[in-house]
Structure 1
Amino acid sequence: MNKLRFKNNPKSQFFATVRQRVDAHFDEGNTTRNANLQMWVKTAFFLTGFFLLYSLIISNQFGVWAMLCMAMLLGMFSAFVGFNVCHDAIHGSFSSNKFVNSVLSSIFNLLGASAYVWNITHNAVHHTFTNIPGHDEDIEIAPYLIRISPDEPVHKIQRYQHWYAFPLYSLASISWAFRKDYKKFYQAKVGNTVLKHSLTDTIKLYLSKAAYYFLFIVLPLLVLNVTWWQFIIGFLAMHFAQGFTMGLVFQLAHVVEGTDFPAPGEDGNIEEAWAVHQMRTTANFASDCRFAAFFLGGLNRQVEHHLFPKVCHIHYAKIGRIVKQTALEFNVPYIESPTFAAALKSHYRILKKFALQAG
């Protein structure tokens, strides 16, 4: 596989212009690109909710039905902590202090996923080769079962994918905890990116997984007054709630109508500048909804995030106006759905389109 390259063209000036304007926005306002007071309040809210729910469950002071409800809520808060805290920290955008980013990044391991593996697959690969088949493995939702781009193989079972895709998204976090991180870690390459891990990296992966298994499996079985099958139901309910929340949000950023899945030519080139490629493969939804902005950690504004991953998501609403105006000036796409429901319907239509092709 040839090394992939992005080609410059007249629209290449789009990114230089929008970056200059965004820089001027922060410089003129003398404001930080990292977390502000509002961001720290959000962080305190989600971390408090996460640790409080875990503590209440592990206290063994509640009945099984109450614990089941709290387990599902804990799963949702796990997703929200990932969206709002860990995602920014792993990108290095939460704080200008590397230690602060490192500490907040490590919380990702308590959600069942490896911060180290995510940094490779998401930050290094997905953000560079967004929606490019054979390179961006983030778009490989469930090979064989789900098809979302023309380059993926067709299987007869996919004729039903618009029905079973959404329940399948619920398995996202449990797959992370027990399968995905190990698989990605031991691959020779992620996409076309060669992987090399040190012994320290390997030890950290297994220690972080061991800590998660102890806190969320061993300790609950030791202290809770529940049967083994009741524990399994609660554990799965937590992960299904977490996975479903994560899966829906992730898919609405890149797999909706209007987004491209461009394949490189035989020479290994993508016929767009990198920033223009990001605009063609990324979408926003519910951009003006404060509820979405608060709970989804800026992931409803993926356009701004992909162009400026080193800017904390708390600033996306303000720089979004700059990005949208500049895109209009350069005739560059700015893909967005007005509401979460509209984006969800658009994603469903994508699934159904490819389902019909498999019929």
Structure 2
Amino acid sequence: MSHDLTKFIHKHPGGQDFILLAAGKDVTKIFEAYHGQKQHHNLQIFRMGLLAGQDVPSFPPPDNFSLTLKRRVNDHFRLLKADPKQSPGTRRRYFLTALGIWILYGLQGYCLTAVHDGSHGAIGRNPVLWKLLLMGHDFFVGTSSTLWTYQHVMSHHVFTNVDGFDADIETSEVEFRRIKESQKYFCFYQLQSIYSPLLYVLLGCTVRIEDLLYYFTSRRGPLKVNPFTFQQNIIFWGGKLFFLMTRIFLPLFWGVPLSRVISAFFVADFTLSIILALIFQATHVVDVAAFPQVNSKTGNIDVDWARLQVETAQDYGHDQPLTTFFSGSLNYQVVHHLFPYVAQEHLPAVAKIVRQTAKEYGVKYEIKDNLWAAIGGHIGLLKLLGTPPHSD
């Protein structure tokens, strides 16, 4: 079903940015994840008609697990008279993280909390706040928040671990590692469980270079990138200029030796990169996670979307407040994927509902004891797919 939101875009409570990103795309599951029946009813006013054909797979209608889980979580917040998007504790975390940026020159906390929450509108109900948080990705990290939103929200969160549609597991013909069965095998993959984690230090530099490629080709993995607005262009190029000025040129101008500037840059960047890479890889690219296939006959996905979110990820360290704090609540990855609009502070309570409902409906919900066990699952997958095929 297609809808014309031209007259509504400036009235959208979530701001116009998300609608502009979604223009011309099938965002059915994103809409359902963030909205309820009232918004679904209101959307029908703007209905244009049915589209012929499709460029991405569709999912079957929500099953009893999905419907029951959503109802129970909604009831949870209604009984508590709590707003799932409001979280004073998370705002305090933002402040402490921002303070840490200036004191320690470290950015991992910002990426794991503010940027991530901003991309989902998962803190407060003010789109201006979300945009400001996201802009930190451009100005403090040097990577595009617009392209990140395409990758993370519109690709990864919809088609989690689905080969060909999840930008997070997109691979070229020859990669430094093998993370899915569809990739061609090369003999050097036998050592990938050893060298891959070491190469994760290059994540930040790689993403900044890829930003330019995606910007000029108007593609982000499997998704077509809509033309950047004037504001998005200012943020994209202004962010990269600000990043280079503050990280490289200003220190040189102030008389800091070039060797110290370069070494400080790479130490900070390598540290940020490996922390982010391991935390994200330990949730989806693991040996217990499913990698669903598109039905070759129908072109669609046969698994209910909510079930897919539970079975393509793993949680860890649910009873470890420090793990939750330093991972930006990404240790509740399954819960976050099911309810991306819910603020971090509420995820532990929602996790109990998810766990009980998954048990009732026979849905596999994997929870590791701690981060190290979760990382072990990632290393396990690298070892498994690094083994030569048909070797006995």
Superposed, 1:33-182 pairs within 5 Å as 33-53=84-104, 74=105, 77-109=106-138, 110-140=140-170, 144-177=175-208, 179-182=209-212
Evaluate the alpha carbon distance shift between residue 46 and residue 119 of structure 1 in structure 2; reply closer, same or farther with a 3 A threshold: same
Q: Which residue of structure 1 aligns with residue 34 of structure 2?
A: none
Q: How many residues align?
A: 333
Q: Which protein is richer in helix relative to its size?
A: 1
- Return 5+ residue gaps in structure 2 as ranges: 1-53
Greater CA deviation, 206-215 or 35-44? 35-44
CA RMSD of aligned residues (A): 1.8
The CA deviation at 1:224 is 4.2
Q: Which residue of structure 1 aligns with residue 245 of structure 2?
A: 214
Higher relative contact order (CA 8 A, sep 6+): 1
Aligned partner letter, 1:96: R
2:223 to 190, 193, 199: 193
Other structure's SS at 1:300 match: helix
Q: Which residue of structure 1 aligns with residue 79 of structure 2?
A: 28
Are the equivalent residues in 2 in contact too, given 1:221–1:231 (CA < 8 A)?
Answer: yes
Q: Which residue of structure 1 aligns with residue 30 of structure 2?
A: none
Q: Which residue of structure 1 aligns with residue 63 of structure 2?
A: 12
| Offset from partner CA, 1:122-163 (integer Å, 9 cap, x none) | 111110011111111212478521111101121222121111
Among the aligned pairs, what percent are the same residue? 27
Other structure's SS at 1:209 match: helix
Q: Which residue of structure 2 aligns with residue 307 of structure 1?
A: 338
Aligned partner letter, 2:366: I
- Return 5+ residue gaps in structure 1 as ranges: 54-73
Aligned partner letter, 2:224: V
Other structure's SS at 1:336 match: strand
Q: Which residue of structure 2 aligns with residue 68 of structure 1?
A: none
Evaluate the alpha carbon distance shift between residue 350 and residue 169 of structure 1 in structure 2; reply closer, same or farther with a 3 A threshold: same
Aligned partner letter, 1:152: Q
The CA deviation at 1:306 is 0.3
The CA deviation at 1:169 is 0.9
Matched, 1:347 2:378: yes
Matched, 1:285 2:316: yes
Matched, 1:270 2:301: yes
Aligned partner letter, 2:125: S
Q: Which residue of structure 1 aligns with residue 5 of structure 2?
A: none
TM-score (norm 1): 0.88
Aligned partner letter, 2:58: R
2:278 to 233, 248, 259: 248
Evaluate the alpha carbon distance shift between residue 186 and residue 265 of structure 1 in structure 2; reply closer, same or farther with a 3 A threshold: farther
Other structure's SS at 2:328 match: coil
Evaluate the alpha carbon distance shift between residue 299 and residue 161 of structure 1 in structure 2; reply closer, same or farther with a 3 A threshold: same
